[in-house]
Amino acid sequence: MGHADPLAQTAAAAAMANDSHAMDNFWMPFSPNKEFKQEPRMFVKGEGMYLWTPDGKKLIDASSGLFCVAAGHCRKEIAEAVYKQLNTLDYTMPFARAHPNAFKLAQEVAEFTPEGLDRVFFVCSGSEAVDSAMKMALAYHRIRGQGHRQIFISRERAYHGVNMGGVALSGMVNNRKVFGVGLPGVYHMRHTALPQNKFVKGQPEHGADLADDLQRYCTMYGGENIAAVFVEPTAGSFGCLPPPVGYLNKLRAICDQHGILLVFDEVITGWGRMGANFGAQAFGVTPDLMCMAKAITNGAQPLGGIAVRTDIYDTITNAGPAKGIEFFHGYTYSAHPACTAAGLAMMKIFREEKLIDRAAALAPYFADALFSLKGLPLVTDIRTIGLMGAVELAVDGNPGVRGHEFQKRLFDAGVNLKATGDNLIVAPPFISEKSHIDEFVGVMRDVISKG
Ligand SMILES: Cc1ncc(COP(=O)(O)O)c(C=O)c1O
């Protein structure tokens, strides 16, 4: 019986409960460490739509882990592919060495990306994808004699990961407050959460004009000095803010006018979450670079990527020496064999189970179910798009207090989901049946109704 066995994990959890120092060493990420260590909420097993706690309680996973597990938990095909790979070639240096699956996965990823975004750079996370894309933008401009393009534009209420570039781009106050601005020369457009956009299913009608903020920055700082604009097609971590109709098209047009690269951060919106392969296809706007991660391996291995326009790749590689490195960037674990094996297994699941079509077909039912919570006294807004939605609760004293409390109450009542501020964020696996949606929405109704 190995440590991964649920029974062994359960025994480990029980032993920890009797050892007051057993949880001291692990510094948990993005977590209330002190509170968690007093009242831990752990899982020891996952299968399909469900997760199990050490004491055998079963919870439905309404957020696909952290937007990762599109195909449901513990897919055997992925586990077996990773096991086989680790027993065949566990690791190879990714610099000036490679393994065939890295090329194969890039080719298969390019079958899902918009036409023209067909060069794929692999990393290990969404944060790395974002910072890598920033470097690609700088390199591309510099090679073309436009090294003066040093400014980046993003948005309020955006989340672009935790590396220094991403922290600078993010518009999340708590993420920046402690670390400062991250990088100088990053400016934020306004977000699109307008009062008139409350309780809207899909794309709201109002707010395309907020894209004019980009034009204002172009006028103020010179469009010729801006390297790239980073946006999530739908702001995810901050509570599901779909783009107003016409908003992304407008950003695209302004970028084209000034030679600015448009980067979509599709770490959450990619791989079917919006009801199409990527947000780019769902909203009919093609960026120049696209960041991805999370569902690319169903969350089973850490893998991210950047899909890049062919001519951007050509510009950077052709400018390099005939036999030397062209782009001084990469990670020890770029295109790790175990991660690419998981990615290839997931691509097969996407294709064979038509998972993205399935997510699209379920989206209207999901939206109606979530909107059935409208009218509950604490619910101040509901937003949905594809298989993602947010139920926003009234602030209780300080922002985030109620969201945090309700996320714990929902756990105790049998639903696992993420809360950001006072938004309960729902993003179920694409294998969901209507009955699963009814199940977690029913529990949400009970818990929220109790106040
Ligand atoms: C849009 C977006 N970008 C970047 C990231 C960072 O990804 P990671 O946590 O894999 O570094 C996230 C994570 O949720 C995200 O939602």
Residues 359 and 342 grouped into a single domain = no
Residues 189 and 335 grouped into a single domain = yes
Ligand 1: which residue has its CA nearest to atom 3?
Answer: 160
Ligand 1 atom closest to Cα of residue 294: 10
Residues 158 and 266 grouped into a single domain = yes
For residue 137, tell me if it sits in a domain: yes
Ligand 1 atom closest to Cα of residue 127: 11
- Which residue of 63, 64, 159 sits with most ligand 1 atoms within 8 Å of its CB, as the best mutation to test the pocket? 159
Q: How confident is the model at residue 17 (pLDDT cuts 50, 70, 90)?
A: confident
Residues 272 and 295 grouped into a single domain = yes
Q: Who lines ligand 1 at CB under 6 A?
A: 125-127, 130, 159-161, 232, 236-237, 265, 267-268, 293
Residues 200 and 289 grouped into a single domain = yes
* Model confidence at 1: pLDDT above 60: no
d(CA 351, CA 69): 16
| Length reported for the chain | 451
Ligand 1: which residue has its CA nearest to atom 7?
Answer: 126
d(CA 101, CA 85): 10
- Which residue of 30, 122, 127, 134 sits with most ligand 1 atoms within 8 Å of its CB, as the best mutation to test the pocket? 127
* Model confidence at 4: pLDDT above 90: no
Q: How confident is the model at residue 198, as a pLDDT?
A: 96
- Report the CATH number at residue 385: 3.90.1150.10
Percent of the chain with pLDDT over 70: 99
Residues 91 and 65 grouped into a single domain = no
118-158 pLDDT, tens digit each: 999 999 999 999 999 999 999 999 999 999 999 999 999 99
Ligand 1 atom closest to Cα of residue 129: 4
376-409 pLDDT, tens digit each: 999 999 999 999 999 999 999 999 999 999 999 9
The predicted model scores a pTM of 0.96
Residues 268 and 331 grouped into a single domain = yes
- Which residue of 134, 172, 240, 267 sits with most ligand 1 atoms within 8 Å of its CB, as the best mutation to test the pocket? 267
Give long-range contacts, CB 8 A cutoff, 24+ apart: 50-59.
Answer: 51/416, 52/6, 54/9, 54/10, 54/13, 54/14, 55/10, 56/10, 57/414, 58/414, 59/411, 59/414, 59/415, 59/416
Q: How confident is the model at residue 84, as a pLDDT?
A: 98
Residues 340 and 416 grouped into a single domain = no
Residues 168 and 258 grouped into a single domain = yes
Residues 88 and 192 grouped into a single domain = yes
DSSP string, 322-344: TTS-SS----TTTT-HHHHHHHH
For residue 164, tell me if it sits in a domain: yes
Residues 59 and 85 grouped into a single domain = no
Q: How confident is the model at residue 3 (pLDDT cuts 50, 70, 90)?
A: low
- Cα of 127 vs centre of ligand 1, distance in Å, is 6
Q: How confident is the model at residue 9 (pLDDT cuts 50, 70, 90)?
A: confident
Q: What is the tally of structural domains in the chain?
A: 2
Ligand 1 atom closest to Cα of residue 66: 14
For residue 274, tell me if it sits in a domain: yes
Domain boundary among 290, 321, 352: 352
- Residue 383 lies in domain: 41-71+354-450
- Which residue of 268, 269, 291, 425 sits with most ligand 1 atoms within 8 Å of its CB, as the best mutation to test the pocket? 268
Residues 172 and 258 grouped into a single domain = yes
For residue 3, tell me if it sits in a domain: no
- Cα of 135 vs centre of ligand 1, distance in Å, is 17
- Report the CATH number at residue 307: 3.40.640.10
353-366 pLDDT, tens digit each: 999 999 999 999 99
Domain boundary among 325, 352, 379: 352
Average model confidence (pLDDT) across the chain: 95
84-94 pLDDT, tens digit each: 999 999 999 99
